Structure 1
Amino acid sequence: MDEIDKKIVRILQLNAKISMKELAEVVHLSSPSVIERVRKLEEQQIIEGYHAHVALKKMNRPICAIVLFESKDCKALSNFCHNHPDVLECYRVAGAISYIVKLATYSVESLEQFIDDSMQYGTPSTNIVLSSHERKIIDPFTLEEE
Structure 2
Amino acid sequence: MDHIDAEILKELQQHAKVSMKELATKVHLSAPAVIERVKKLEEQGVIEGYHAKVNLKKLERTIQAMILFKSIDCKSLAAFCHAHPDVLECYRVAGEISYIVKIATYSVETLEQFIDAAMPYGTPSTNIILSSHHKTIIQTFSQ
TM-score, normalised by the number of residues in structure 1: 0.95
Deviating runs (4+, > 6 A) in structure 1?
none
Q: How does 1:22-61 map to 2 (within 5 A)?
A: 22-61=22-61
Structure 1 equivalent of residue 6 of structure 2? 6
User: What aligned pairs does 1:1-146 form with structure 2 within 5 A after superposition?
Assistant: 1-140=1-140
Deviation (angstroms), 1:75: 0.3
**CA gap 1:83/1:42 in 2 versus in 1, 3 angstroms:** same
C-alpha deviation, 1:136, in angstroms: 1.0
Instruction: Indicate the RMSD between aligned Cα atoms, in angstroms.
Output: 0.9
In 1, Cα distance between equivalents of 2:141 and 2:131: 27
Q: Note the C-alpha offset of 1:141.
A: 6.0
Q: Distance in 2 between matches of 1:18 and 1:111?
A: 37
1:45 CA drift (Å):
1.1
Q: Which amino acid aligns with 2:79?
A: N
Percent identical residues: 70
Give the Cα–Cα distance (whole angstroms) in 1 for the partners of residues 57 and 28 of structure 2: 39
The superposition leaves residues 96-132 of structure 1 with CA deviations (integer Å, 9 ceiling, x where unpaired) of 0000000000000000000000000000000000000
Aligned length: 142
**What one-letter code is carried by the residue in structure 2 that aligns with 1:19?**
S
In structure 1, C-alpha distance between the alignment counterparts of 2:69 and 2:85, rounded to whole Å: 18
Q: Relative to 1, partners in 2 of residues 1:141 and 1:21: Cα closer, same or farther, differing over 3 Å?
A: closer
2:70 and 2:44 map into 1 onto residues whose CA distance is 36
1:41-60 deviations in Å (ceiling 9; x for gaps): 11111111111101101011
Q: Is the 8 A contact 2:56 2:62 kept in 1?
A: yes
Instruction: Judge conservation of contact 2:64–2:103 (CA < 8 Å) in 1.
Output: yes
For 1:80 and 1:53, locate their aligned partners in 2 and report how far apart those are by CA, in whole Å: 24
Q: Distance in 1 between matches of 2:71 and 2:81?
A: 12
